[in-house]
Amino acid sequence: MFTLLLALAALLVAGSTAYFSTLGIATLFSGRYLQVLIMAGCLEFGKLVATSFLYRYWNKAPKFLKIYLTAAVIVLMVITSMGVYGYLSSAYQVNASKTGIIDNKVVLIQQQKTTIDGEIKQISERIDTLNQSRLSQEKRLSDNKVRSTLYIYNDIKRAGEEIKGLNSRLQELQKMKFEKDNELITLQGDNSRVHDIGTFKFVAQSFNQPVDTVVKWFILILVSVLDPLAVSLVLALNVATRGTVLKEVDEIIEEEQPTTRKIKLGGIIGTGFVKQK
């Protein structure tokens, strides 16, 4: 049962490694994608077969063949790791570019909001100034100390019209600001759906490192384990299956092997061979 479990683990790990590696290598040479995909798949299969061959026939194979196959397996492990690294890096860049676009939009909207807030502040200050000026003019009219009041009425009228226009502009700015806030909420929702980047951002902030650096080291650690584990599981499967076969062969030989027993014939003690059943 454990041998079957080991075989399943070897198949899954080696299969997933070959899948990511072949796609990564084929992506690098997209001009002949299918051809490169087939070649990379054959190399992956050949690597596993060569690993099994080296284990099973190490004592029988010629020296030059052992040296070449060992070097080929090591080089193919490096190539596989590079293919997996390229595939995972490409997958990260897809979401990273989406996040970068969203972040740029967020920065732009925040800058627009800052501009809107500045204009709102200026308009509010101007409205306060006009209101104070109009109150001052109205106070002068109430004192009855001014001979000609026409220009005062004109100033009050102009102030009122300007305040009306400023209030209209203020309402437009408030509406624009509300729309920008809604856009920010939407972008934050889009950004939260990119789960892997969000996780890497949290880790990067925890270690005070750029996100790209954290992702690079994570992929390197993953790659350093993936293909060596696949090759090791294939070797372990060969060890397990060979041990099982040898055990069965030993049991058959033991069952067929004659054993020595003492036989008493007419008072003479002799030695004979009796075949075990």
Total residue count of the chain as it appears in this document = 277
Which of 36, 177, 31 is CA-nearest to residue 109? Answer: 177
DSSP state, residue 149 = -
Residue 246 inside a domain? The answer is yes
The answer to pTM > 0.85 is no
Instruction: Return the sign of the alpha-carbon dihedral for residues 268, 271, 273, 276.
Output: positive
- Whole-number average pLDDT of the chain: 80
Number of domains present in the structure of the chain: 1
Q: Flag whether 261 is in a domain.
A: no
Residue 127 lies in a domain: yes
Phi-psi category of 61—alpha, beta or left, where left has phi over 0 and alpha has psi -120 to 50? beta
For residue 271, pLDDT over 50 is answered with no
Q: Identify the DSSP state of 208.
A: T
Q: pLDDT per residue over 65-77, tens digit each?
A: 999 999 999 999 9
Triad 166, 168, 174: Cα angle to 5° = 100
> pLDDT, tens digit, for every residue of 159-189?
888 888 888 988 999 899 898 888 888 887 7
User: Does any domain span residue 93?
Assistant: yes
Does residue 275 lie within any of the structural domains?
no
Structure confidence by residue, pLDDT tens digits, 145-167: 555 566 777 777 888 888 888 88
Q: What is the pLDDT of residue 10?
A: 87
Residue 41 placed within a domain? yes
Query: Could you give the CA distance from residue 147 to residue 30 in angstroms, rounded to a whole number?
Result: 90
Give the pLDDT confidence score for residue 193 in this predicted structure: 63
- Residue-range definition of the domain harbouring residue 145: 2-256
pLDDT number for residue 256: 52
* Residue 137 lies inside a defined structural domain of this protein: yes
Give dist(CA 123, CA 184) in Å, integer: 25
Let me know if residue 265 belongs to a domain: no
- What is the pLDDT averaged over residues 201-226? 85
Q: Is 156 in contact with 134 (CB distance < 8 Å)?
A: yes
**Residue 49 predicted with pLDDT over 60:** yes
CA distance 210 to 197: 12
